[in-house]
Structure 1
Amino acid sequence: MLNWWFLGPALALTVLILSLVVLGLQRGARVQASEPGARREMRVYRDQLKEIERDAARGLIAPDEAERLRAETARRLLDADKRGASELGESPRAMKAVALGLVILTGLGAVALYGREGAPGYADMPLADRFAQAQDMRAARPSQDALETAWQNDPERPEAAPVEQQYLDLMAQLRAALTERPDDPRGLRLLAVNEGNIGNYAASADAWMRLIDLQGAETSVADMTALAEAMIMATGGVVSPEAELVLERVLQRDAQNGTARYYLGLMFAQTGRPDLTFRLWRGLLEDSAADDPWVPAIRGTIEELAGIAGVRYTLPPQTGGGRGPSAADIDAAAEMTEAQRQEMIGGMVEGLAQRLASQGGPVEDWTRLIGALGVLGQTDRARAIWSEARLVFADDAGALAQIDAAGQAQGFGE
């Protein structure tokens, strides 16, 4: 069914414009009909006949010459009169044909354009109905378990990257150890991180849940964020109702959390509210560093979202961004006052910490974060990051040595 709510006013506007065009053409026809070319000739020939009569009466031309001129001018006058009658009959018909052609072409063009750019198969849906439909879509989402099962059975799901057998053997030992010590927080954290590293996101999410339940009120925002991301990865990128609840808990404790803001915006896009996605992602993009992991995805879609939201938006140019404070930044900060240090690298440190907590990163980023927190005087936090890094890189002797060196520089040790 055509969307008559939209098509009706469009047709009315088209008819109005065409009416104005036709009236203009008719006016032009009347102007032309008032004195067409043949009529002007007839007026000239009549004037010539009068001039001949005056010249003959004054004796300026001979009688036989006057007669010849009268006959020739009268003949031309009759020919012009015949052409004038033909123009008067053809001009309105031509204008009517032009007007009819405009009506047909404009109508066909409008229908073709609507068929290509519009949605002729959709019924009218006021904005309130669209919002209500989006709300119903959001409420009717499948559960986390159902989405995980659907993703596992999806024939288009990409194959997981191959994992070395030694790594798989270590994972088997870790799982076995946790069956004997299910409440070991260190083991659960290792399991959660490494299950995610090999693509077992559902198992990773389960380990994060167990760890969070064990920690209770002491659970960090970083752990909750990691749980939400593992849940979303386990469903192939779909934000389930359960994952949404975790994201809301994260934002209640950290309203500026980039990972949670990104995935909440994704949820709105998946449930029929891309306008809300645009609002969330626009603010997130303005708050983000260039190397934040969600920036490429936002930049690739936000202009389209703006169009859907009815907002004129121009994507700002990409700006450079580092991977946290460099060694030079930290050395310079050591010579500053506490307030100056906070102003210089505080923002960079927070961005780096959030990214490592949600996305992970190379060992160099972890050592850089430990050193930066130490310079800022956040010793307890630096120690916590150092302990977490030792768990993350427990199976990498070279990386673990770098982590331990960074810890020793801050006075940490086993």
Structure 2
Amino acid sequence: MTNKMFWIASSTLAGLVTLLLGLALFRHGRVEGSAVSDVQVYRDQLKEVERDLERGVIAEAEAEQIRLEVSRRLLEADRAATEEAAEGAAPRAATMVAAGFVALVLIGGGGLLYSVVGAPGYPDLPLQARIDMAEEMRLTRPDQAAAESQIPPSPPVDVDAEFLDLMEKLRAAVAERPNDIQGHEFLARYEAQLGNFTAARQAQARVVEIKGDGAGAADYARLADLLVLAAGGYVSPEAEAVLRRTLELDPANGTARYYSGLLAVQTGRPDVGFRIFRALLEGSAPDDPWVTPIRAQIEDLAFLAGVNYVPPAATQMRGPTEADIAAAEEMSPAERMQMIEGMVTGLSERLATEGGPPEDWARLIRALGVLGQQDRARAIWEEAQRAFPDEAMQVPILRAARDAGIAQ
């Protein structure tokens, strides 16, 4: 619906409602009561007397007597009807004022309310248009240098003079030995402790550079963390590239998954951010560092994503218990296969009705592959890819497909 059509439709509806309420006000008190009905009855009786007289049913003298009695009753009923109308009808001026007030509240008040909580002049935003706008926002957002330039200097950290002296020596030693991995690691750690996040992320970037192909997911995750901290919590394009590399090396890395969700939120995709945060929260231990910030915002994200979601209790555990594992080890192969089939059925039903994180879909795909149900595994794989279009979230699903022997 265009902006013009919206105003036409809303104005028309408000006008119709106002008109109906106004008519109801003007008609109030005009409904005929018992006295008015009596007046009509007596008038009909007078007409009936004249017809009876013409047909010769009654004599003139009898007709005259009936006329007098009916006329007396007619006058009494007419007086009662006049009093009834005066008591039941509101003054016309008061009715006009009430009708005007109703029109003011409905039309004027409605327009005022919309101007405050609505978006006058704002065009329609279909889902695809919003997705395109979010992608444009992601592609054109400021880089790391621009973000850091907007961050005010950090207040000095209260440390003793001896530590500051050691830091100066460390900086000098690292400058003299640019390929010293351990020196750069120490420098990145202690610069971060001092709040010098730009210097810390530069040192960590050098660690990754020196290690080359030997740099692991933890190295990249640390670099991504320092990039975001240096930018004041903003996930820059440079940080996004590091996050992607981290997830390539370790799809389960919690730091990278958290910042990937934060990136989605910052670039107008709360739905993607919610899915990432939900999967991470439900698969994390209560003391994982990203659990607290996720809990602080996931319900608001769920609302923006159009999902009715209650976070799990902090003590809730995932996966089989030790007793379940011990019991499975004592089963025969046939019993164990039956247990797997039962778990697969339950997981499949839950994903179909409630959804779940990518890891749960990957678990289902692998289980179906173990059971030899390749066609069903392929169907679940295709459905999972539609449910999680984000590339980072597809990694465990794709690996599960490869393990099950169904990847294309």
TM-score by length of 2: 0.62
The whole-number CA distance in structure 1 between the counterparts of 2:154 and 2:8 is: 49
Task: Note the 1:14-413 alignment, pairs <5 A.
Answer: 15-16=12-13, 19=16, 35-43=32-40, 72-80=72-80, 82=82, 102-120=102-120, 122-151=122-151, 154=152, 158-309=154-305, 311-320=306-315
Q: Is the 8 A contact 1:143 1:241 kept in 2?
A: yes
Report the CA distance between 1:227 and its aligned residue.
Answer: 0.6
Q: Is the 8 A contact 2:258 2:276 kept in 1?
A: yes
The whole-number CA distance in structure 1 between the counterparts of 2:36 and 2:27 is: 14
Change (3 A) 1:36 1:91: farther
Change (3 A) 1:303 1:220: same
The range that moved more, 295-304 or 230-239, is 295-304
The range that moved more, 276-285 or 167-176, is 276-285
Report the CA distance between 1:95 and its aligned residue.
Answer: 8.5
Alignment deviations for residues 27-64 of structure 1 (CA, whole Å, 9 cap, x no partner): 998898674444224246569989x9xxxx9xxxxx99
Q: Is the 8 A contact 1:144 1:240 kept in 2?
A: yes
Amino acid at match of 1:204: A
Q: Is the 8 A contact 1:49 1:73 kept in 2?
A: no
Change (3 A) 1:67 1:282: same
The whole-number CA distance in structure 2 between the counterparts of 1:87 and 1:9 is: 44
Change (3 A) 1:113 1:286: farther
Q: Is the 8 A contact 1:48 1:73 kept in 2?
A: no
The range that moved more, 10-19 or 157-166, is 10-19
Change (3 A) 1:177 1:27: closer
Report the CA distance between 1:158 and its aligned residue.
Answer: 4.9
Amino acid at match of 1:144: Q
Report the CA distance between 1:123 and its aligned residue.
Answer: 4.2
Report the CA distance between 1:263 and its aligned residue.
Answer: 1.1
Change (3 A) 1:7 1:105: farther
The range that moved more, 185-194 or 77-86, is 77-86
Change (3 A) 1:148 1:97: closer
The whole-number CA distance in structure 2 between the counterparts of 1:131 and 1:182 is: 44
Report the CA distance between 1:109 and its aligned residue.
Answer: 3.2
Aligned-residue Cα RMSD (Å) equals: 4.6
Change (3 A) 1:111 1:37: farther
The whole-number CA distance in structure 1 between the counterparts of 2:140 and 2:31 is: 72
The whole-number CA distance in structure 1 between the counterparts of 2:140 and 2:38 is: 82
Give the equivalent residue in structure 2 for 1:60.
none
Q: Is the 8 A contact 2:221 2:255 kept in 1?
A: yes
Q: Is the 8 A contact 1:29 1:91 kept in 2?
A: no
The whole-number CA distance in structure 2 between the counterparts of 1:150 and 1:128 is: 32
Amino acid at match of 1:234: A
Q: Which runs of 5+ in 1 are unaligned?
A: 58-62, 323-331, 341-414
Amino acid at match of 1:131: I
Amino acid at match of 1:297: P
Q: Is the 8 A contact 2:21 2:99 kept in 1?
A: no
Report the CA distance between 1:234 and its aligned residue.
Answer: 0.9
The whole-number CA distance in structure 2 between the counterparts of 1:186 and 1:85 is: 100
The whole-number CA distance in structure 2 between the counterparts of 1:77 and 1:103 is: 38
Amino acid at match of 2:310: L
Give the equivalent residue in structure 1 for 2:53.
none
Report the CA distance between 1:278 and its aligned residue.
Answer: 1.9
The whole-number CA distance in structure 2 between the counterparts of 1:231 and 1:277 is: 19
Q: Is the 8 A contact 1:41 1:77 kept in 2?
A: yes
Change (3 A) 1:301 1:16: same
Q: Is the 8 A contact 2:29 2:85 kept in 1?
A: no
TM-score by length of 1: 0.61
Report the CA distance between 1:312 and its aligned residue.
Answer: 2.7
Report the CA distance between 1:184 and its aligned residue.
Answer: 1.6
